[in-house]
Each structure stands twice: as C-alpha cells, then as structure tokens.
Amino acid sequence: MLKRLMFGAVAIAAILPAAAAAQDSREATLYDRGNFKGRSLRLDSPTRFPDVFTARSVQIPEGQAWELCSGNNFTGCREFTGSSKGMVINVRSARPVAAVITSAPPGSPAASVGTVSGGPWPSLRGLASEYFIAPDVGGNRIAVATGKSEEASRLAEEFCRARGWRTSAHERLQSIGGRTYLADVLCSEARE
C-alpha cells in the first residue's frame, strides 16, 4: 500500500510541471472546437493570420485581456478578459490588451481630470520617436468615449500624425473619475 501511495505521489509530481508548462501565463490559446478541444493556436504577441481561423473556444490567462479581431489590422475586435469554452468568432488578427491604468501618482499631472493647465504636456523626444504621458489637444486630455483599445489605437494614430509622426507604436487607456483617456502614447517613424 505504501509503495502504491509513493508511486502515485511520484507520478503526480511528474505530471504537475508538464501541466503548468502547458500554457505560458502570457499566452492565449484559440481552439477550433468548443470546450478547448480541436486544432489550437497559441498566441504570445500581436498576430495577423494568413487565413481566417474560426475560434469556438479560447483560453485567456487570469489577469490578461486579449482582442480577437475579424479584420486583418486589428479592426472589428472583441475583447476577452477570461476564457470562453463556447463561442464562434472568425479571427484574422489578435493582440494582448494592456489593462486600463486606474490611478496616477498623487500630485502628478496625470491625476487631473479632463484638463491640463498650462497647455501641452511635455514629452520625451528622440531621433525616431516621441513619448507622451498624457496626450492632449489644446490643453484637454484626449477622451476615449467607448473605453475600448480599438478606439484608443485610432485616436493615438491621429494624435501622432497631427504631430508629424507616421504611427503610434504604443498606447494605453487611463480611467480617471469614471472617464477614460488616452495615455502613454509612443509616436514613431515606423511600425514595429
């Protein structure tokens, strides 16, 4: 009996690391059948698919959010903040979505609600990019009415182009007082 218990414990200990390594904590996994079965695609970064992948279930790591998009360039997106074992969505592109920033350090300019006193915020400009903590237009923060990352990407692109840059390489959402604003925008000359 003791030998069986020890053998069982050893067998379980051998299986646990394999199960833990089965999905990286940052990866999302799409399945072409419900209940996380069938052909699967693992994603760990923004991805564009050469062909449409019809996802019928998706595993999203706890604390992560991903957009599954029907358009090739991250358009027509649906955000998933948790796993779903039954759904149908045609996916042409997918990307992880950063969590909304819900607070700012006390006394920082980002803690103000809706307006920026004294005009445009300072930025950090390099040779091929420029970083804006809290982008504004005419001294007012840029509101993201829907609170969705797809709209934030569009607004960041417009913001960067208006300042002479080709694209936005990065952007985040910031929630202050129940409103959502564009934050942490990195304008650049070229897409990564």
All structural domains of the chain, each given as residue ranges with its CATH number in brackets, are 23-96 (2.60.20.10), 109-188 (no CATH)
Q: What is the pLDDT along the chain (192 residues), one digit of tens a residue?
A: 444 444 444 444 444 444 334 445 679 999 999 999 999 999 998 899 999 999 999 999 888 889 899 998 888 888 888 899 999 999 999 988 876 766 555 555 444 433 333 345 678 888 889 999 889 988 889 999 998 888 999 999 999 999 999 999 889 889 888 899 999 999 998 654
User: Which pTM value belongs to this model?
Assistant: 0.55
Under 8 Å between Cβ of 155 and 146 = no
Which long-range contacts (C-beta less than 8 Å, at least 24 apart) are formed by 167-173?
167/191, 169/129, 172/98, 172/100, 172/101, 173/98, 173/100, 173/101, 173/144, 173/147, 173/149
Q: Name the CA dihedral angle for 81, 87, 92, 98, rounded to a multiple of 10 degrees.
A: 0
Runs of H (alpha helix) within the chain: 2-21, 149-162
Residue 104's pLDDT is 55
Q: How far is CA 73 from its chain centroid?
A: 14
